Chains A and B, each alone.
Chain A
């Protein structure tokens, strides 16, 4: 009886204690595991660069941007941008550089003053880029300049960032029919390298 009663009392206590223990272990694993991974990843990504650059300097990534040249085609130009932490951050920087313009005398197809508000990369490979209204309102596009503007963005993202397969353009957080009356923005774009010089 007594043992039974004792067992009856201690059983829930035991279960509770067991659960607490499991939870504790899980919490410990979560923190040490997570922390460990973070540190490892940080060290890993540090490894190739630390040999050549000073430790204090930010890590860089080389991206290829698409600018317009005299032949009216898109031409590639490489640029160093700050790396990480996410590919969306890098994509945002690459596009900001695209707007900032060429260092080799080429022309940016995007209106100066345009800001990249956000880049979001979804798991299915769809990158959504949100530009400030300057991309549409401060410029009058012809078909050629509008195609160049759209595809410089699309090509830059798909060319440099492996997870990106297609791109949607937003203006001030909203869908827009076109930038300047020509190219349909309601669709996701795949890159078009036929507009790029060989």
Chain B
């Protein structure tokens, strides 16, 4: 019954929204930063941290340490050669909740969000690098609504006209997310190509997954999984400064291509 109550007005609103697309788009939704204004801030998210160490390697290396090292290198590269502000969701070994990470990105009005991870599998032979962006196909009406309410940051509210009713706002949020997803997939593709060219790890391609960190961020967002820490060979690579630098450089190059083609 509750679902019905949600769906009916949502449907009506959907019809309204479709009719109003032409009017709605140039207004509230088109405020997505990468579309109508120059990119100012890139947020880099070093995966895990503090008590939450992420995947563990056979030789004792922890995902959280590698993600932080790569993130610091990437920050330095971007700051040196591009004129952007770079914000890290953590700059040392501390716990930061996933919600706070996306809040940092939204409050700082991130134009792009890059989460950095090292992969882990129960299968020791698993190896390679891959880049993820958000999949919304695991979503239905109620869960989208929930995600919307959870992530309804002030940044988002300023982008979506607050005078529109709730269901309409929901649909506009979805439209904005869809616009981000297209850009996210393009960024993922370019970064993945560079990872493949530079790291010499197996190319696992770009993939979509319902990752928590990607659901709450109001801008194009990717999650890079550079090599497997659960694979002993790759763990040793990941622990080396040279390999970490390569990962940062590959992401940097993908990002540069993304920005170049976006203009």
B230 touching A181, Cβ below 8 Å: no
Partner of A182, one of B146, B150, B212: B212
Q: Mark A101-120, 1 if CB is under 8 A from B, else 0.
A: 00000011100000000000
Chain A hits for B56, CB < 8 A: 140
Partner of B122, one of A109, A143, A183: A109
Q: Mark A169-198, 1 if CB is under 8 A from B, else 0.
A: 000000001101111111111101000000
B212 touching A184, Cβ below 8 Å: yes
Chain A hits for B125, CB < 8 A: 70, 72
Q: Which of B211, B215, B228 has the most CB of A within 10 A?
A: B211
- Give the complex CA separation of A189 and B137 in angstroms: 9
- Give the complex CA separation of A190 and B119 in angstroms: 23
- Give the complex CA separation of A72 and B137 in angstroms: 22
- A85-141: which have CB < 8 Å to B? 107-109, 124, 140-141
Chain B hits for A70, CB < 8 A: 123, 125
- Give the complex CA separation of A177 and B97 in angstroms: 9
With A140-B54, A140-B55, A145-B120 already in contact, the answer to whether A183 and B211 are too (CB < 8 A) is yes
Distance of B238 from chain A, by nearest CB (Å):
12
Q: Which of A68, A124, A144 has the most CB of B within 10 A?
A: A144
Chain A hits for B99, CB < 8 A: 177
- Give the complex CA separation of A80 and B146 in angstroms: 38
B119 touching A143, Cβ below 8 Å: yes
Q: Mark A41-70, 1 if CB is under 8 A from B, else 0.
A: 000000000000000000000000000111
A72 touching B123, Cβ below 8 Å: yes
Distance of B107 from chain A, by nearest CB (Å):
19
Question: In chain B, what residue has the closest Cβ to A69?
Answer: B123
Chain B hits for A147, CB < 8 A: 209
Chain B hits for A17, CB < 8 A: none
Instruction: Assess whether A166 is interfacial by the CB under 8 Å rule.
Output: yes
Question: In chain A, what residue has the closest Cβ to B52?
Answer: A181
Distance of A191 from chain B, by nearest CB (Å):
9
B209 touching A143, Cβ below 8 Å: yes
B3 touching A124, Cβ below 8 Å: yes
Instruction: Assess whether B210 is interfacial by the CB under 8 Å rule.
Output: yes
Partner of B209, one of A107, A140, A183, A188: A183
Instruction: Assess whether A33 is interfacial by the CB under 8 Å rule.
Output: no
